[in-house]
Amino acid sequence: MKTLLTVTATLAATAPAWAHEGAHLHPHGTEVTPILVVMVVMASAYFFFRSR
């Protein structure tokens, strides 16, 4: 559980930077950012269920 909180906190803290980089990777940054959100959710779920 501690690992999940650490990962979530780290991702939340770096989210603006990821969104900013997403805007550089694709001219329409709003199309890239939701993909990053999905990746974060899936990674969090993976660590959550793995720690149980």
What is the Cα–Cα distance from 23 to 27, expressed in whole angstroms? 6
Q: Residue 1: which pLDDT band, with cuts at 50, 70 and 90? A: low
Q: Do residues 3 and 47 touch, judged by C-beta distance below 8 A?
A: yes
Residue 9 Cα distances to 6, 18, 38, angstroms: 5, 14, 16
pLDDT tens digits, 10-51? 777 777 766 666 555 556 555 566 777 788 888 888 888 887
State which residues form the domain around 9.
2-50
Q: How many domains does the chain have?
A: 1
pTM of this prediction? 0.41
